[in-house]
Structure 1
């Protein structure tokens, strides 16, 4: 198996683009080679199977949209949480293909138990990281608040990236602020 890490990442990123554009049924080694602009047969030298490529694409998507650069100078916890959520929405909107590929992978996972297991672990780890991040970041609310916001944002992102005209008259920044405000327990 070939071990050029930069080319492997480029091929995985090309697979994500193919998934977003053509769906899981359109994901072939040939399509990935064409998207990456590499000679035919390159992807098959890097991945043992299509399932291996799907697995690695699933793992890579979360790295592409990770939010790490939140303004730590903000002292109000509610404002800091709102900023984080807005940044998350922006990062994912900027990588629309990554999110759409994840939707495709979720659908494909309903037909492939091995992929379902991988995605379940990846998404569960992501949810656990959100809950832990809330605790460690001294953000307001409790663990349930983190879960509620996670799923509110998941739904908002899905709608925004797949059928944006549904929300054409909605100020997304204001909606995110209200998600945060209404999810927080008021004392």
Structure 2
């Protein structure tokens, strides 16, 4: 295997683009090479196979889509109440909207994991790790609600992100005078997170 970290990163990013645009079936080394603008055969020099590429895409997406530490630090200066949880959920929604490709690739990873037991195991570990990290963050930050609150927020926000990124017109106009997705983020938090 060739060791050029910059080239590997460019190939993984190209893999994210292909995965989001064409789905897992379109994720071939040739497609990644084409997307990255490198000679055919380059990706096969960097990854042992498709599973290796998918694992590296998974790892990269969890870094790429993570909250900005400066934004988190700034938000944590606020009172630890429902309004702060709302601000964190708006940040999450904003990141999903700004990096639609990254989130669509994550959704494709979920679908592919249902078909590939080896990917299912590793992807489950990474998503479970993110959820557990979110619960720990919630506890250590002193935010209202416990682990169950975080799990329900996770599920509700995942559904909203899925709908907003894939079929945005489903929710538009269904609830009159409700701004999608911003007002829905606020309603989710108001419903799930207890007041202090």
SS in 2 for 1:45: helix
SS in 2 for 1:75: coil
Query: Where does residue 148 of structure 2 map in the other structure?
Result: 144
SS in 1 for 2:2: coil
Query: Where does residue 158 of structure 2 map in the other structure?
Result: 154
Within the alignment, does 1:129 sit opposite 2:138 as a pair? no
What is the number of equivalent residue pairs in this alignment? 187
Query: Where does residue 25 of structure 1 map in the other structure?
Result: 25
1:100-133 CA-to-partner distances (Å, cap 9, x unmatched) read 1111111111111100001100110011011011
1:126-171 CA-to-partner distances (Å, cap 9, x unmatched) read 1101101101111111110111101100000000000011122341
Q: 2:103 aligns with which of 95, 99, 103?
A: 99
Gaps of 5+ in 2: none
Query: Where does residue 184 of structure 2 map in the other structure?
Result: 175
Q: CA deviation at 1:80?
A: 1.2
Gaps of 5+ in 1: none
Instruction: Provide closer, same or farther for how the CA distance between residues 106 and 76 of structure 1 changes in structure 2, counting only shifts above 3 A.
Output: closer
Q: 1:163 aligns with which of 167, 170, 184?
A: 167
Distance 2:107 2:79 in 1: 35
2:14–2:35 contact (8 Å) kept in structure 1: yes
CA root-mean-square deviation = 1.3
Distance 1:185 1:77 in 2: 9
Q: 1:120 aligns with which of 116, 124, 144?
A: 124
- TM-score, structure 1 as length reference: 0.95
Query: Where does residue 88 of structure 2 map in the other structure?
Result: 84
Dislocated runs of 4+, deviation >4 Å: none
2:82–2:189 contact (8 Å) kept in structure 1: yes
SS in 2 for 1:79: helix
Q: CA deviation at 1:186?
A: 4.6
Distance 1:106 1:75 in 2: 35
Distance 2:38 2:48 in 1: 18
Query: Where does residue 73 of structure 1 map in the other structure?
Result: 77
